[in-house]
């Protein structure tokens, strides 16, 4: 399957503003944005600024090992945030995409017992996701190319000596 949904950094900027506007129009004012690293970091930063929320927490979750290939279950990597920090707070969980929804469910359930309220915002949600996010910019069932992960990591070039 060669069809791809292609998000560029340019489109991302508009998507974040639109997603934030939807959240603001809904009257949800999060105290904390919880970012699922690494893809959710971009979304968290954009939404936190647009929603004027100064508090971002980060959760590292590993699940995907390649295009469409995953570990059996998503796992939270250390350091796991202290749930006490969330107690009584209105939390907004952010990620780039809810695909199977397993990653978001893991973080959502982790927060649930401790917080006043928890909602989720993603740029994309796929129709088979077991989590239905309150805020979604676009629905698709294609594999998505994100601008931050579509290119391989940079490698060191020979002969590039930088003066101090
Ligand atoms: P889930 O647990 O919902 O299946 O997947 C969540 C994570 O898997 C996302 O945060 C993202 O990192 C990765 N992922 C899932 N679907 C896609 C996709 O279509 N494209 C890319 N680039 N990553 C994806």
Calculate how far, in angstroms, residue 22's C-alpha sits from the geometric centre of ligand 1. Answer: 22
Residue 1 has pLDDT above 60, yes or no: no
What is the average per-residue pLDDT within 136-164? 91
For a ligand 1 pocket test, name from 1, 38, 39 the mutation site with the most ligand atoms within 8 angstroms of its C-beta: 39
Atom of ligand 1 nearest to the CA of 149: 22
Calculate how far, in angstroms, residue 164's C-alpha sits from the geometric centre of ligand 1. Answer: 39
pLDDT at 155: 94
What is the average per-residue pLDDT within 128-133? 97
Residue closest to 44 by CA, chosen among 153, 143, 115, 135: 135
Residue closest to 108 by CA, chosen among 95, 96, 126, 120: 120
What is the average per-residue pLDDT within 106-115? 89
pLDDT at 84: 78
String of DSSP letters for 58-112: EEEEEEEEETTEEEEEEEEESSPP-GGGGTT-EEEEEEEEESSSHHHHHHHHHHH
**pLDDT tens-place string over residues 25-82:** 999 999 999 999 999 999 999 999 999 999 999 999 988 777 777 778 899 998 888 8
Calculate how far, in angstroms, residue 83's C-alpha sits from the geometric centre of ligand 1. Answer: 24
Calculate how far, in angstroms, residue 4's C-alpha sits from the geometric centre of ligand 1. Answer: 13
């Amino acid at each position: 399957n060669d069809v791809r949904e292609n998000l560029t950094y340019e489109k991302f900027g508009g998507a974040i503003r639109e997603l934030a506007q939807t959240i603001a129009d809904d009257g949800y004012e999060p105290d904390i944005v919880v970012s699922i690293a690494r893809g959710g970091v971009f979304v968290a930063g954009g939404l936190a600024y647009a929603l004027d929320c100064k508090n971002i927490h980060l959760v590292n979750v590993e699940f995907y090992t390649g295009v469409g290939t995953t570990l059996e279950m998503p796992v939270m990597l250390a350091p796991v945030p202290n749930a006490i920090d969330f107690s009584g707070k209105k939390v907004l969980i952010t990620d780039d995409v809810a695909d199977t929804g397993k990653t978001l469910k893991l973080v959502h359930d982790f927060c649930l017992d401790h917080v006043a309220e928890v909602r989720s915002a993603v740029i994309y949600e796929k129709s088979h996701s077991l989590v239905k996010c309150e805020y979604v910019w676009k629905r698709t069932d294609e594999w998505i190319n994100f601008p931050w992960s579509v290119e391989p990591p940079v490698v060191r070039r020979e002969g590039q000596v930088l003066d101090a």
